[in-house]
């Protein structure tokens, strides 16, 4: 029986592309919301979840850092997907036929130069894959979607222009989540992700971070966000290089724990080759 991997969005979304590239043997399961993705794994409907956490152009994905610690799921891999944006039209259409390009609000500004050059009006859609589906259903040669090559494949659209984004660096980082943790050392270069809350003492965060500096552990990400709707309750999300069994990481985490009221490891997993 083929396993499943859940993602947020419609077929053809960039999250769907991440599933295909990272877990080609698993059947992609589209879900309406991030909460639905997590529930699909929690309930056993899916074996893994593919969740976007940050983008090189727009920063972190809203709500994900809030959802992960409470999900009960574990990070088992990371994946980087290059966001190439294409102009998709109904079969037989040409670029000069297009009057309206539909896509998610964050994709439209990334193609501003191309749209302006060809006199195409950008129109906001809730989702780029949904835009592709609706263009296919409408069948109007004046309408196009800004989406992935996969969306063209899924909805039978023609790719009228490829890679039309203004910047050539737009990349999204995804985390693969599972019900079961896997802390085995599966690669030479490993990452450890955790969340923590510092104790209510002066300079607690400064002291908590000191262990990583003195032990030579590289912290690649540190973000803070409010919890429980309180301005005084702050949780921190961190990625560090290394495995908890590495002596420097072990010592740094021990020192961190001394200054925290809560510490939870969300995952230990290999670095994606596209990271370096």
pLDDT digits (tens, 9 = 90+) for 16-73: 999 999 999 999 999 999 999 999 999 999 999 999 999 887 778 877 878 898 899 9
Given 34, 114, 174, 194, the catalytic residue: 174
Would you say how long the chain is, in residues? 276
Between 201 and 190, the more confident residue is 190
Calculated CA dihedral for residues 67, 68, 70, 76, nearest 10 degrees: 150
Q: What is the pLDDT of residue 12?
A: 96
Choice among 55-64, 113-122, 165-174, 266-275 with the minimum mean pLDDT: 55-64
Over residues 257-270, the pLDDT tens digits come to: 988 989 999 999 99
Domain ranges across the chain: 4-82+170-178, 86-161, 190-275
Residue 12 tokens read as 């053809």
Chain centroid, CA 98 distance in Å: 31
Contact residues for 16 (Cβ-Cβ < 8 A; gap 6+): 7, 9, 10, 28, 30, 129, 148, 150, 154
Count the Cβ atoms, other than its own, within 10 Å of residue 267.
23
Query: Could you confirm whether 114 is annotated as catalytic?
Result: no
Q: What is the pLDDT of residue 230?
A: 58
Phi-psi region of 159 (alpha: psi -120 to 50; beta: other; left: phi over 0): beta
Q: What is the pLDDT of residue 145?
A: 98
What is the torsional sign of CA 82, 84, 85, 86? Answer: negative
Q: Which residue in this structure is represented by tokens 């063209």?
A: 152
Q: Which CATH class is domain 190-275?
A: alpha beta
CA distance 259 to 255: 7
Over residues 124-154, the pLDDT tens digits come to: 998 899 999 999 999 999 999 999 999 999 9
Q: What is the DSSP letter of 274?
A: G
Angle subtended at Cα 270 by Cα 267 and Cα 276, rounded to the nearest 5 degrees = 125
Domains 4-82+170-178 and 86-161 share a fold: yes
Q: What is the pLDDT of residue 1?
A: 45
Over residues 71-100, the pLDDT tens digits come to: 999 999 999 999 899 999 999 999 999 999
Q: What are the two backbone dihedrals, phi and then psi, of residue 149, each rounded to the nearest 5 degrees?
A: -60, -35
Instruction: State yes or no: pLDDT of 212 exceeds 50.
Output: yes
Q: Which of 79, 96, 78 is nearest to 87 (CA)?
A: 96
Q: What is the pTM of this model?
A: 0.90
Q: Which CATH architecture has domain 4-82+170-178?
A: 3-Layer(aba) Sandwich (3.40)
The percent of the chain in helix, strand and coil, each rounded to the nearest 5, is 30, 35, 35
Rg (CA), the chain: 21
Residue 5 tokens read as 């991997």
Angle subtended at Cα 87 by Cα 80 and Cα 273, rounded to the nearest 5 degrees = 15
User: Across all residues in the chain, what is the average pLDDT?
Assistant: 92
The DSSP H or E segment spanning 219 is strand 219-226
Q: What is the pLDDT of residue 231?
A: 58
Query: Could you confirm whether 172 is annotated as catalytic?
Result: yes
CA distance 158 to 91: 5
Given 22, 172, 193, 260, the catalytic residue: 172
Confidence of residue 228 (pLDDT cuts 50, 70, 90): low
Q: What is the pLDDT of residue 66?
A: 81
User: Residues of the chain with pLDDT > 70: what percent?
Assistant: 96
Choice among 10-19, 47-56, 105-114, 195-204 with the minimum mean pLDDT: 195-204
Yes or no: is domain 86-161 CATH 3.90.1170.50?
Answer: no
């Amino acid at each position: 029986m083929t396993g499943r991997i859940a993602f947020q969005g419609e077929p053809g979304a960039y999250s769907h592309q991440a599933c295909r590239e990272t877990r080609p043997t698993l059947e992609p399961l589209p879900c309406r919301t991030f909460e639905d993705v997590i529930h699909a794994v929690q309930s056993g409907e899916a074996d893994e979840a593919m969740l976007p956490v940050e983008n090189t152009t727009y920063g972190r994905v809203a709500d994900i850092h809030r959802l992960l610690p409470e999900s009960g799921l574990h990070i088992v891999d990371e994946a980087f997907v290059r966001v190439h944006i294409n102009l998709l039209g109904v079969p037989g259409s040409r670029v000069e036929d297009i009057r309206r390009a539909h896509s998610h609000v964050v994709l439209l500004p990334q193609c501003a130069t191309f749209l302006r050059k060809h006199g195409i009006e950008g129109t906001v859609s809730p989702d780029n894959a949904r835009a592709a589906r609706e263009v296919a259903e409408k069948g109007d040669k004046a309408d196009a979607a800004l989406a992935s090559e996969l969306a063209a494949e899924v909805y039978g659209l023609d790719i009228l222009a490829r890679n039309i984004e203004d910047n050539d660096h737009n990349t999204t980082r995804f985390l693969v989540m599972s019900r079961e943790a896997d802390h085995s050392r599966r690669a030479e270069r490993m990452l450890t992700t955790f969340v923590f809350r510092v104790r209510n003492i002066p300079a607690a965060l400064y002291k908590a971070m000191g262990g990583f500096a003195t032990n030579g552990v590289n912290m690649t990400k540190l973000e803070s966000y409010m919890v429980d709707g309180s301005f005084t309750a702050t949780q921190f999300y961190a990625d560090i290089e290394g495995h908890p069994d590495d002596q420097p990481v072990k010592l740094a985490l021990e020192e961190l724990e001394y200054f925290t009221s809560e510490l939870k490891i969300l995952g230990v997993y290999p670095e994606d080759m596209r990271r370096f």
